[in-house]
């Protein structure tokens, strides 16, 4: 019998029922409208073919981002399975470039815009630019302020995961270790933090809530240093090497807002002769294949699955609702999942 990976299984499941993962703002109940309009991709493809294919413009903040590479690949597949014409552009991590791309899509008359903003602080400007055309917007992955969505009611939604949950899960991963993060037993958890884009709400929440999980559990903590590594593996590797040279064994935990930075941190930890699980703990977010394998091998304490399959499926289903003129909720949440050595094998993609 040929084995199917969890990733392939989830993608196959998404083909059967794209709206199954759509959850409204409460985060637990499925959207009735979504369920009724996306029962199967096969059916939706037939409907789209009969009525004429919609044109979907997708703006990704940066193709070089490992997680967004997975996300956009999934999203393109699902939208094309629905019978839509899809154009995906690379914002190259430059808001001006993305703004120009949005204007081009508007000139082309796309039916729906799916936008992963370069800067969430620019989300209101993006809405103000698009609003006169009445083109619906599905914001993905980087959450705009609620006021932004409110300013374009019924034509704008957000699909993503609650970054507060991912930060909380990171803290819980540390609390679930043998020493609960306090390796030297002095009653205090000393840590460094590798942070993503400071304007990104995910980076802000992961930074805040990972530590909040520790303090809520009654732990005393000390931040040795926070590094602005902008999601980048090489930058994190350099900064963690500098931290190890400066703070040495005082570093008990390395928190990273994503797995790319965690992989960079791991390189420096290993080069410094540190052993994860013995004299340091290391956690990330995204559940990238390489990171998950390192969890399996004991080289990372854990990571948190940022479900690209679930989010892309939900984004495609929300797009379909807009195309068909159906009711769309303001928020669609997809849960994170803690990945530990005990369950990591099932999350290898």
What is the tens place of the pLDDT at every residue in 124-177?
999 999 999 999 999 999 999 999 999 999 999 999 999 999 999 999 999 999
Architecture label for domain 163-305: 3-Layer(aba) Sandwich (3.40)
Query: Is the model's pLDDT at 37 over the cut of 90?
Result: no
Q: Where are the domains of the chain?
A: 55-161+307-335, 163-305
What is the tens place of the pLDDT at every residue in 277-315?
999 999 999 999 999 999 999 999 999 999 999 999 999
**Residue recorded with tokens 């998950």:** 292
Strand blocks (E) in 204-273: 220-228, 253-256
Q: d(Cα 146, Cα 48) in Å, to the nearest integer?
A: 32
**Residue recorded with tokens 């977010």:** 285
Are the beta carbons of 292 and 7 closer than 8 angstroms?
Answer: no
Please indicate whether the domains covering 55-161+307-335 and 163-305 agree at the CATH topology level.
yes
86: β partners: 56
Work out the percent of the chain whose per-residue pLDDT is above 90: 82
Q: Which of 159, 158, 113 is nearest to 135 (CA)?
A: 113
Both tokens of 306, joined, read: 């940022």
The C-alpha angle 299, 305, 311, rounded to 5 degrees, equals 155
226: β partners: 193
Strand blocks (E) in 44-185: 55-60, 85-90, 112-115, 137-140, 156-160
CATH topology of domain 55-161+307-335: Rossmann fold (3.40.50)
Interhelix angle 308-324/66-81, nearest 10 degrees = 40
pLDDT band at residue 200 under the 50/70/90 scheme? confident
Q: Could you tell me which residues come within 8 angstroms of residue 339 by beta carbon, excluding any fewer than 6 positions away?
A: 287, 292, 295, 302, 303, 304, 305, 347
Q: d(Cα 118, Cα 78) in Å, to the nearest integer?
A: 23
Whether this prediction's pTM lies above 0.75 is answered by yes
Give the torsion through C-alpha atoms of 172, 173, 176, 182, to 10 deg.
Answer: -90
Task: Please tell me which residue, 264 or 7, carries the higher pLDDT value.
Answer: 264
Q: d(Cα 95, Cα 77) in Å, to the nearest integer?
A: 26
pLDDT band at residue 114 under the 50/70/90 scheme? very high
Residues listed for the chain: 349
**Residue recorded with tokens 């939706």:** 44
Q: Which of 211, 233, 220 is nearest to 188 (CA)?
A: 220
Query: Is the model's pLDDT at 2 over the cut of 50?
Result: no
Are the beta carbons of 123 and 148 closer than 8 angstroms?
Answer: yes
Both tokens of 298, joined, read: 């004991």
Q: What is the pLDDT of residue 199?
A: 84
Distances (CA, A) of 308 to 19, 66, 88, 105, 198: 15, 11, 16, 24, 22
Are the beta carbons of 156 and 124 closer than 8 angstroms?
Answer: no
**To the nearest whole number, what is the mean pLDDT of the chain?**
88
């Amino acid at each position: 019998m040929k084995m199917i990976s969890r990733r392939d299984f989830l993608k196959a499941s998404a083909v059967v029922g794209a709206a199954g993962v759509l959850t409204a703002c409460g985060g637990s109940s499925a959207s009735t409208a979504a369920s009724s309009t996306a029962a199967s991709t096969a059916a939706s493809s037939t409907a789209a073919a009969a009525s004429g294919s919609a044109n979907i413009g997708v703006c990704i903040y940066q193709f070089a981002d490992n997680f967004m590479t997975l996300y956009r690949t999934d999203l393109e597949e699902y939208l094309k399975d629905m019978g839509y014409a899809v154009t995906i552009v690379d914002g190259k991590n430059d808001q001006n470039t993305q703004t120009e791309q949005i204007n081009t899509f508007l000139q082309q008359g796309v039916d729906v815009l799916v936008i992963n903003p370069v800067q969430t602080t620019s989300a209101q400007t993006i809405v103000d630019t698009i609003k006169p055309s009445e083109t619906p917007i599905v914001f993905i992955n980087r959450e705009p302020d609620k006021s932004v969505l409110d300013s374009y009611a019924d034509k704008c939604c957000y699909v993503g995961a609650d970054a507060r949950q991912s930060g909380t899960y990171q803290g819980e991963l540390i609390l679930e270790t043998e020493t609960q993060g306090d390796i030297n037993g002095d009653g205090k958890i000393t840590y460094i933090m590798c942070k993503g884009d400071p304007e990104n709400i995910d980076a802000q929440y992961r930074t805040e809530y990972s530590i909040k999980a520790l303090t809520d559990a009654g732990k005393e903590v000390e931040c040795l240093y926070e590094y602005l590594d902008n999601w980048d593996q090489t930058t994190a590797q350099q900064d963690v090497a500098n931290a190890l040279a400066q703070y040495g064994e005082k570093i008990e935990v390395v928190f990273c807002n994503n797995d790319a930075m965690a992989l960079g941190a791991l390189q420096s930890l290993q080069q410094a002769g540190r052993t994860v699980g013995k004299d340091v703990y290391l956690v990330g977010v995204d559940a990238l294949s390489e990171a998950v394998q390192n969890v399996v091998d004991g080289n990372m304490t854990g990571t948190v699955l940022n479900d690209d399959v679930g989010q892309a499926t939900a984004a495609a289903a929300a797009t379909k609702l807009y195309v068909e003129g159906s009711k769309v909720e303001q928020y669609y949440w997809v849960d994170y999942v803690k990945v530990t050595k005990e369950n990591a094998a099932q999350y290898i993609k």
